[in-house]
């Protein structure tokens, strides 16, 4: 009876303009959701289709185990081993982690447990503004400021190098870790803190031994999400780290990441439907699988270790 009444109400002729708009909103929101799903499906379909064309000519085993990447060389010199690009991306991610995680956690603890409300209302928006700065600006900041500073300390360091890129990417993902971790820590109920204070704990002990473990699922999820951003960072790494795919594992030398190769190939003279053209999609598919795995891991951790209060 209720469904029949709703249907009659929908077709009622004397409905006001506001009621008509309210009736259309659910359909509009459904359309927005379907559009997002279709966009994702389209991206995945394109990646699979073009990547399949690449692997029709290059063996998959050679792609994932090869140690040389010369996709843009002449045809007789081309090699498609993705390991140098993969290692370059992992170098940047590891270096960014060393920079961002301690600073992010320290910032989150201060904002959640120590900062007065007035100071928090100033610092947190500034951190969020830092997250909104275009990545290409970070790239030129690294080239003009961070790299010259580091070369005073390491005179033998290449102008394009992994160390500067790691530091800059660490600064880029810092706001994400700090903001999400602070939100997770502030969601811990106040009575848990008061119980710890009642037992004689200091503020530092409460922060590190009570609040931090209680918010662990949200904090770890923020780590994984920030690192997935670091893996997929493009312009800053392209500008700072260079375009030399190698496996030296040295942070003082020029490297190339997966995203940097995609930029280099996309802006070069790569002919449509050629093997170097298909290699862009193969690298993109590899990057997609890595970031998807990391996001699923973050989702699993947040659900598996979520504390209910």
**Total number of domains in the chain:** 2
Residue 294 has pLDDT above 70, yes or no: yes
Give residues with Cβ within 8 angstroms of 61, minimum separation 6: none
Return the number of other C-beta atoms located less than 10 Å from residue 260's C-beta.
28
Residue 39 has pLDDT above 80, yes or no: yes
Q: Is residue 62 part of a domain?
A: no
Write down the pLDDT at residue 91.
93
Judging by beta carbons within 10 Å of its beta carbon (0-12, 13-18, 19+), is residue 223 exposed, middle or buried? buried
Q: Tokens 């802006």 belong to which residue? A: 267
Domain of residue 37 covers 2-56
| Dihedral angle sign, alpha carbons of residues 248, 252, 253, 255 | positive
- Do the Cβ atoms of 180 and 222 come closer than 8 Å? yes
Residues 40 and 95 in one domain: no
Each residue's pLDDT tens digit, 214-262? 888 888 888 888 888 888 888 889 899 988 888 888 899 999 999 999 8
Q: Is residue 88 part of a domain?
A: yes
pTM, to two decimals? 0.84
Each residue's pLDDT tens digit, 52-78? 999 999 899 989 988 888 888 877 888
Q: Which residues pair with 48 in a beta bridge?
A: none
Residues 42 and 97 in one domain: no
Q: Is residue 65 part of a domain?
A: no
- Do the Cβ atoms of 185 and 210 come closer than 8 Å? no
Angle at 54 between CA 51 and CA 56, to 5 degrees: 110
Q: Tokens 């780290």 belong to which residue? A: 241
Question: The tokens of 308 are what?
Answer: 């209910």
Residues 46 and 91 in one domain: no
pLDDT band (50, 70, 90) for residue 92: very high
Residues 158 and 247 in one domain: yes
Q: Is residue 158 part of a domain?
A: yes
Write down the pLDDT at residue 101.
92
| Dihedral angle sign, alpha carbons of residues 157, 160, 161, 166 | positive
């Amino acid at each position: 009876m209720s469904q029949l009444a709703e249907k009659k109400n929908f077709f009622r002729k004397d409905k006001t303009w506001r009621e008509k708009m309210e009736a259309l909103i659910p359909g509009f929101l459904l359309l927005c959701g379907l559009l997002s799903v279709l966009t994702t499906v389209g991206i995945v379909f394109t990646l699979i289709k073009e990547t399949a064309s690449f692997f029709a000519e290059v063996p998959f085993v050679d792609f994932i185990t090869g140690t040389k990447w010369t996709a843009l060389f002449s045809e007789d010199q081309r090699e498609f081993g993705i390991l140098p690009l993969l290692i370059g991306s992992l170098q940047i991610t590891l270096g960014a982690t060393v920079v961002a995680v301690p600073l992010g956690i320290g910032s989150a603890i201060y904002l959640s447990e120590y900062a007065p409300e007035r100071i928090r209302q100033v610092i947190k928006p500034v951190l969020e503004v830092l997250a909104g700065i275009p990545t290409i600006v970070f790239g030129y900041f690294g080239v003009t400021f961070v790299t010259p500073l580091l070369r005073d300390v390491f005179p033998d360091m290449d102008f394009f190098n992994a160390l500067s890129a790691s530091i800059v990417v660490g600064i880029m993902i810092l706001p994400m870790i700090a903001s999400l971790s602070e939100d997770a820590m502030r969601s811990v109920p106040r009575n848990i803190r008061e119980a710890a204070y009642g037992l004689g704990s200091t503020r530092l002990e409460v922060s590190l031994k009570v609040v931090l473990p209680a918010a662990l699922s949200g904090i770890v999820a923020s780590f994984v999400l920030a690192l997935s951003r670091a893996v997929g960072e493009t312009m800053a790494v392209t500008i700072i780290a260079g375009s030399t795919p190698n496996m030296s594992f040295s942070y003082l030398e020029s490297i190339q990441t997966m995203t940097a190769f995609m930029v280099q190939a996309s802006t070069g003279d790569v002919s449509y439907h050629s093997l170097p053209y298909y290699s862009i999609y193969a690298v993109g598919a590899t990057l997609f699988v890595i970031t998807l795995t990391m996001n699923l891991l973050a989702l699993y951790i947040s659900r598996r270790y979520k504390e209910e209060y």
